[in-house]
Amino acid sequence: MEITNIEEYEALAKEKLPKMVFDYYASGAEDQWTLRENRNAFTRILFRPRILIDVSKIDMTANVLGFKISMPIMIAPTAMQKMAHTDGEYATARAASAAGTIMTLSSWATSSVEEVASTGLGIRFFQLYVYKDRNVVAQLVRRAERAGFKAIALTVDTPRLGRREADIKNRFNLPAHLTLKNFEGLDLGKMDKSNDSGLASYVAGQIDRSLSWKDVKWLQTITQLPILVKGVVTAEDTRLAVQAGAAGIIVSNHGARQLDYVPATISCLEEVVKAAQGRVPVFLDGGVRRGTDVFKALALGASGIFIGRPVLFSLAVEGETGIKKMLQMLKDEFELTMALSGCRSLKEITRSHIMTEYDLPRPVPRL
């Protein structure tokens, strides 16, 4: 079957992967309302295209923290990629590099920062949780720096793990032949495989629930790398992130895997952008499946987007080739959207090119 859009990879991955693995990748928290809303909210944003503009040349290049990339489409951190394919994070790193874009490596990867660096040149960020033992955090950061990673994506929305019922039913465990490679040699204890969810037990025991804004400042004392605060959905926290010295903000609800019934990230984006007031770049992850989605996010003020689950699904189906195809399809759709909207560069994408449900005229009530 010829794959014509990236959503088709999910259906194929469901057929190919063990149920426990697919459900871990695909599911959200509790009722999964936010999981559905992350996609549905994009459908409520419509275009206001401009016509009769010379779009014979389209420039999609973006600048992220001073790094020039081929498009404003980057790879979000997703854990345990070797459950999807034997090449795991190696394939993702090579595909991102080939596409001229940024890969973010999960700290819960099944390949270490050193192993990913060994795949060759590429711009890579490292996703970080803060653990009770700050020495462990410092070790992870130093290793990422030595391996040539260019930024830290600090995940801040996980003081406790969200309740993912599919994992409980499946008694999710990392398969025995795989390990969390970044933690080899570090004293973090062993994953409890006797619990309903070994992953939940592990995270609950190691991630520091006392994490606060002072720890964002502390992190800046142990690294020169720019810190992106990942997990912001409100104006209030945006202002605090800027005050704390964040180099950028990622509007994220953790792929709808944490607190259910929070708004879709695309619905939170404009509020965050307005609160940032241009002081730091704002990025988005969650629910992006089309090039039209990328355009909508940029029109609402994002400097770029990160994509997660489609990486896992395309990896599961076709390995490195699948990720390359997925990124190219998304890039091609984005370029087409730009052309049909009358935009020749990212700076020409503006709020006036879209309308949201709040922009639509309301019926006048009868008196």
- Residue 252, annotated ligand binder? yes
Determine phi and psi for 155, rounding to 5 degrees: -85, 125
Domain for residue 361, yes or no?
A: no
- Residue 212, annotated ligand binder? no
Residue listed under structure tokens 């189906």:
317
Range of the domain at 233: 7-355
- Residue 243, annotated ligand binder? no
What are the tokens at 221?
């004392």
- Given this model, what pLDDT does residue 33 score? 97
Average the pLDDT over 21-26 and give the result. Answer: 97
- Under the banding of pLDDT at 50, 70 and 90, the label for residue 46 is very high
- Residue 230, annotated ligand binder? yes
Q: Measure the CA–CA gap between 271 and 165, rounded to whole angstroms.
A: 31
Radius of gyration of the chain (CA): 20
Q: Measure the CA–CA gap between 137 and 222, rounded to whole angstroms.
A: 10
- Residue 77, annotated ligand binder? yes
Domain for residue 42, yes or no?
A: yes
Inter-axis angle of helices 235-243 and 213-222, nearest 10: 30
Residue listed under structure tokens 């309301």:
362
- Active-site residue (options: 85, 177, 254, 353): 254
Beta bridge partners of 355: 46
Q: Measure the CA–CA gap between 281 and 226, rounded to whole angstroms.
A: 12
Q: Report whether 13 contacts 22 (CB < 8 A).
A: yes
- Catalytic status, residue 353: no
Q: Are strands 304-307 and 73-75 parallel, antiparallel or unpaired?
A: parallel
Domain for residue 82, yes or no?
A: yes
Host H or E run for residue 236: helix 235-243
Q: Are strands 248-251 and 67-69 parallel, antiparallel or unpaired?
A: unpaired
- Under the banding of pLDDT at 50, 70 and 90, the label for residue 184 is confident
Q: Report whether 16 contacts 317 (CB < 8 A).
A: yes
3-state SS, residue 11: helix
Residues whose CB is less than 8 angstroms from the CB of residue 329 and which lie 6 or more positions away in sequence, other chains included: 3, 4, 5, 6, 291
- Residue 309, annotated ligand binder? yes
Residue 332 burial (CB < 10 Å; 0-12/13-18/19+)?
exposed
pLDDT in tens, 230-266: 999 999 999 999 999 999 999 999 999 999 999 999 9
Percent of the chain with pLDDT over 70: 92
Query: What CATH number does the domain containing 45 carry?
Result: 3.20.20.70
∠ CA 104-108-109, nearest 5°, is: 65
- Residue 127, annotated ligand binder? yes
- Residue 202, annotated ligand binder? no
Q: The pTM is what?
A: 0.93
Domain for residue 362, yes or no?
A: no
What are the tokens at 225?
């790398």
Domain for residue 366, yes or no?
A: no
Domains held by the chain: number: 1
- Residue 289, annotated ligand binder? yes
Q: Measure the CA–CA gap between 138 and 235, rounded to whole angstroms.
A: 30
Q: Report whether 48 contacts 281 (CB < 8 A).
A: no
Inter-axis angle of helices 33-43 and 291-299, nearest 10: 80
Domain for residue 364, yes or no?
A: no
- Residue 16, annotated ligand binder? no
Beta bridge partners of 69: 62
Q: Measure the CA–CA gap between 67 and 108, rounded to whole angstroms.
A: 25
pLDDT in tens, 96-149: 999 999 999 999 999 999 999 999 999 999 999 998 888 889 999 999 999 999
- Which carries the bigger pLDDT value, residue 194 or residue 284? 284
Q: Identify each DSSP E strand in 196-330 by its residue range.
A: 227-232, 248-251, 282-285, 304-307
Domain for residue 363, yes or no?
A: no
